[in-house]
Structure 1
Amino acid sequence: MTTGTLTEAILEFPDNRLLIDLCGEFDRNLTDIEARTGVQILRRGNQLALHGPAEAQDAAQAVLSALYQRLEQGRPVGRADIDREFRLGAEEIDTGDQLEMFAGGKVEIKTRKKLVEPRTDAQKAYVRELFQNELCFGIGPAGTGKTYLAVAAGVNMFITGQVDKIILSRPAVEAGEKLGYLPGDMKDKVDPYMQPLYDALNDFLPGKQLARMMEEKVIEIAPLAFMRGRTLANAFVVLDEAQNATSMQMKMFLTRLGEGSRMVITGDRTQVDLPRGVASGLADAERLLTSIPRISFSYFTSADVVRHPLVARIIEAYEKDAERGV
């Protein structure tokens, strides 16, 4: 039955008991699939009727069939399994091999909400490094897209099943202001400092999906100090504002790298907020790690600034002033 571009598809499931498990408690699993695809799913006896655009129906059918097959094998179905099917199913086929696409000369990163295309040659080279190496450094002034592109790459690798979670971190170093004077508990004090990371994620993931993923700890945003003692396996990990990590903190963070993980460290050597006399861990990492294979260093200049044109001129003015030794 067809109405305009909307169609109805019928899926039949022979085992009504498994169908109940497929739908989930209070049809929660169907609600999740509806939210992701925009398809309306109605249960009729041992059938599910799918209403919506044909392309969205195909995605919903593929996920429902895979989940039902999982139940037939005696394996449970939960929200994490639904998410995995979306990431490893149609999304992976749709994106294909990212590096293959890069080979054609076009560099872009697909996320849930938008297609991110680096603008400058340095940004394009940086994105290629993000997909080719397990440990990448992005170093340069503010506004050059270091963190934004890294988070976009992390979201892409997550939705294509290359990693199981995204972890974003920053050193909790105050930039001339004292967090202790802010009201609230530790989370309330730290969250404003982490806001740029939230902003980037909101650009790439729908709000409800992002909230759910953070609630389920699939996405974590935390101060650098919270990384101590952890082994970060099968994760895409970003350390932002790394110039404010001490040498000990940088070593601690780098040694968290676990099996199947990727790490990106971004920073601006001209904006160090550490106390006078405390060495920046980013500078030490540059000095010690540049000759190690599978670790890349990408550098940006004012020419790579993608914010307001005045930002590039401001950066150039400060750079010239520093060169004069004033």
Structure 2
Amino acid sequence: MAQATVSPTGVAPKTSSDDIPWNPKVTQQRTFGDWVVDIVIWVILALVVLAVLYPIWFVIIASFSDQTLVASGKVTLWPLGFNVKGYEMVFSDDRVWQGYLNTIIYSVVGTALNVAVTIPAAFALSRREFAPRRIIMFFFTFTMFFAGGMIPNYLLFRSLGLLDSMWVFILPSAVNVFNLIVARSFFESSIPEELHEAAQLDGESYYGFFFKIVIPLSAAIMAVIMLYYFVQHWNDFGTGLVYIQDTHKQPLQNVLRDILLANSTQTGNSSMSAGELQLFADQIKYGIILISTIPLLILYPFLQKYFNKGVMVGAVKG
């Protein structure tokens, strides 16, 4: 048994608070000030959440409400004068279903190509033994600040035969430099060099190390990159507006825009006044917002845990 230390004077020394082992079961008594700070923090968080969620909730209830009541400010928490005329108008147009199919194809194929190019490139640029990695990274970063512009891009895509083709949505955006930097930072900070040394001792090549060790450990950053790219393709509006003339190849965003503009300028309808046409266009607008965002709202919860982990590890370190 350990004996207590006695000072030369015969008096036991005083024990400081640092010498007492920490016991997680013993909680410090909270003061009134602590409770006040907690309440203020929770109130601020509640207000922030309300400010974020209420606009989404308002769009939902407004899309199912009588637009006269919406315009008069009577619709606040629940839908009033329930009707689905806006959704009926949107979904009765066959272009919406074709636009949905086109956008899904562009987003899925584009995201698959993006991940297949970005992840190996980021891994190669993260290896310190790869001598020209800094020069190559400089050329990648240079494109973030300087670009050719719309007219040179149009001429280039026309010479490559990409106009009115699904590949104009996919090939020009095969690599996003920001996502490349995030993935490279993840590999530099989260994949220990000891793993590569152990793989070399086992006779693994770079390809074996990448596919058997790095990829299984990179689920978090891959989920983040996939979500970034998928949202980028899903919301791609400018590409279809400039480079696609065939209406059957238009993505959903451009189709919904055309429907909204057509109903906003439909002044020749003798059965409806200008004010009624505007209210009807507003209801279509609310419905279009939900139609275009629901797939992303459904997808995000399944990737949230990977997103929170991957984006912090890949962006804060390195």
TM-score range, shorter chain: under 0.3
**TM, length-normalised to structure 2:** 0.21
**TM, length-normalised to structure 1:** 0.20
Higher RCO (C-alpha under 8 Å, 6+ residues apart): 2
Between Structure 1 and Structure 2, the one with more helix by share is: 2
Between Structure 1 and Structure 2, the one with more strand by share is: 1
